[in-house]
């Protein structure tokens, strides 16, 4: 397939537009573990699209469900109306999420899921007559999408700098990344649970009675794969409980099998009050996200005068195509036991990623579930350049990987075979050797 003859009109997101348009990389087809490029090459998908195509591309069951839904019910207004699959999908999600995370508010993306979760947290406290709790606590290096709520609690500087004021009442925990103590750790580092104690300091500073919620990624993905130290999430949970602060896990990446379980909450044995999901919820075939809340939070909204309980929602909340894709995706995950498969492959995956230790410029390898972060030392005076070169080289050599700064993040579809793991890691190893300058 040839290139379109005009690339100018499309303003590409999170992309160096001019660099890209000077040397475009177009994907024109996908199936299973592979993409096809515009120049007819096959790429092994090392990042499940963008951490989202967990069951692999073009799953026939999901394709068929979307086709059928488009012909049967293309759209239904979600305000004061419903359609069956929205209720069915919510029930199915409640079934696979831990404890009493039983009520689901649908959105169209992770960013919207985060905004929704933050708004629910604030409205929950107000509804309980505890409306002084308006402060939201995020974490340095956190990524919670690109809405004003998400960038306010987020901790990635370039995503905030150009955009001014943000939400007013926000603070941040420190991140948990520490190469001096934890470089080259397989799975969760033993050192670092104390980073959660910083929440006690924020409580002392602001007063618990002003704090509504803490939001963290249980494993930070976008910033370059930061695995939570052992005991860290448990500690955050305990401090939140002590002070009546809601704990929100942003599981947009970690949901749906990435860490070998339906959720990171299940994997780590820590139940948040609200969970945000997106991406893998539909295997990425139709955009969708959700905020999933524990029963007592939902019940709080179901008390009082009988009327609209939450003034919030999207035109496309619970879109029929997304619900159909979501139901089909959950069927595929269950039928193929993909979460258990990821867990069973984890040791092989981690050992394979660690084959990159010792290659030029590799200053850390970290891995858990079917995720790995390969951190490269930045070129002097040119942070990100080495990472970007690795991305381009991998693309030319036959692998799609995700790069954030100088960190390569790997998160293949959960259907990857051992042989394909070898191929993916082998390609990256070759690239690291070739681009050692």
Q: Find the distance separating the first CA and the last CA of the chain, reported in whole Å.
A: 34
- For ligand PLP, the closer of residues 116 and 420 by Cβ is 116
CA pair distance 281, 287, nearest whole angstrom:
9
Report the residue number whose CB is nearest to ligand PXG: 110
Q: Which of residues 311-350 bind ligand PLP (CB under 6 A)?
A: 314-316
CA pair distance 309, 300, nearest whole angstrom:
10
Residue 217 lies near ligand PXG (rule: CB under 6 A): yes
- For ligand PXG, the closer of residues 278 and 368 by Cβ is 278
- Pick from 105, 106, 124, 143: which binds ligand PXG (CB under 6 A)? 143
Q: Which does 217 bind (CB under 5 to 8 A by kind): ligand PLP, ligand PXG, none?
A: ligand PXG
In whole angstroms, how close is the CB of 79 to ligand PLP at the nearest point? 10
CA pair distance 233, 343, nearest whole angstrom:
20
Residue 319 lies near ligand PXG (rule: CB under 6 A): no
**What angle in degrees, to the nearest 10, is found between the helix axes of 320-335 and 338-353?**
70
In whole angstroms, how close is the CB of 248 to ligand PXG at the nearest point? 11
CA pair distance 20, 139, nearest whole angstrom:
31
Q: Using CB under 6 A as the criterion, what x/- string covers residues 21-60 for binding ligand PXG?
A: -----------------------------xx---------
- For ligand PLP, the closer of residues 226 and 252 by Cβ is 252
Q: Which of residues 356-415 bind ligand PXG (CB under 6 A)?
A: 402, 404, 409
- For ligand PLP, the closer of residues 116 and 404 by Cβ is 116
Tell me, by CB under 6 A, how many residues bind ligand PLP. Answer: 3
Residues 6+ apart with CB under 8 A from 106: 78, 86, 89, 90, 288, 289, 290, 314, 317, 318, 322
The tokens 């990635």 sit on which residue?
156
* DSSP string across 46-115: SSHHHHT-TT-BT-HHHHHHHHHHHHH-S----SS---HHHHHHHHHHHHHSSTTEEEEEEESSHHHHHH
**What angle in degrees, to the nearest 10, is found between the helix axes of 60-72 and 320-335?**
150
Residue 214 lies near ligand PXG (rule: CB under 6 A): no
* Site residues, ligand PXG (CB under 6 A): 50-51, 109-111, 114, 143-145, 217, 221-222, 250, 252-253, 278, 402, 404, 409
């Amino acid at each position: 397939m040839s290139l379109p003859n005009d690339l100018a009109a499309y303003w590409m997101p999170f992309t160096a537009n001019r660099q890209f348009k000077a040397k475009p990389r177009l994907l024109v087809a996908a199936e299973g573990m592979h993409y096809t490029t515009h120049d007819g090459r096959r790429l092994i998908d090392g990042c499940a699209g963008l951490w989202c195509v967990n069951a692999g591309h073009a799953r026939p069951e999901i394709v068929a469900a979307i086709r059928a839904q488009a012909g049967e019910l293309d759209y239904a207004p979600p305000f004061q109306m419903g359609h069956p699959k929205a209720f069915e999908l919510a029930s199915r999600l409640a079934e696979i999420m831990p404890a009493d995370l039983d009520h689901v508010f649908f959105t169209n993306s992770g960013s919207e899921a985060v905004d929704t979760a933050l708004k629910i947290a604030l409205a929950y406290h107000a509804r309980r007559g505890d409306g002084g709790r308006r402060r939201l606590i995020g974490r340095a290096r956190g990524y919670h999408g690109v809405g004003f709520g998400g960038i306010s609690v987020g901790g990635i500087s370039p995503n905030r700098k150009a955009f001014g004021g943000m939400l007013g009442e926000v603070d941040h925990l420190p991140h948990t990344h520490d190469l001096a103590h934890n470089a080259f750790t397989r799975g969760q580092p033993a050192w670092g649970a104390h980073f959660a104690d910083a929440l006690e300091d924020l409580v002392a500073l602001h007063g618990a009675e002003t704090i509504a919620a803490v939001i963290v990624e249980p494993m930070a993905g976008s910033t370059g794969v930061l695995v939570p130290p052992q005991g860290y999430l448990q500690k955050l949970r305990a401090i939140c409980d002590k002070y009546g602060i809601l704990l929100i896990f942003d599981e947009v990446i970690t949901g749906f099998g990435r860490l070998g379980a339906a959720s990171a909450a299940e994997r780590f044995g820590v139940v948040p009050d609200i969970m945000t999901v997106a991406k893998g919820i539909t295997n990425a075939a139709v955009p969708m996200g959700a905020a999933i809340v524990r029963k007592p939070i939902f019940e709080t909204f179901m008390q009082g005068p009988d009327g609209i309980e939450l003034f919030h929602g999207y035109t496309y909340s619970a879109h029929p195509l997304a619900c159909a894709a979501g139901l089909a995706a959950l069927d595929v995950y269950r039928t193929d036991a993909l979460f258990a498969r990821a867990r069973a492959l984890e040791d092989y995956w981690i050992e394979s990623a660690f084959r990159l230790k010792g290659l030029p410029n590799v200053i850390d390898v970290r891995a858990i579930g079917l995720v790995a972060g390969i951190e490269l030392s930045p070129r002097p005076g040119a942070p990100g350049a080495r990472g970007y070169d690795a991305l381009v080289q991998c693309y030319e050599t036959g692998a799609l990987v995700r790069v954030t700064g100088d960190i390569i993040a790997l998160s293949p579809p959960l259907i990857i075979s051992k042989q394909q793991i070898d191929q993916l890691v082998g390609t990256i190893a070759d690239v690291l050797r070739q681009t050692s300058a």
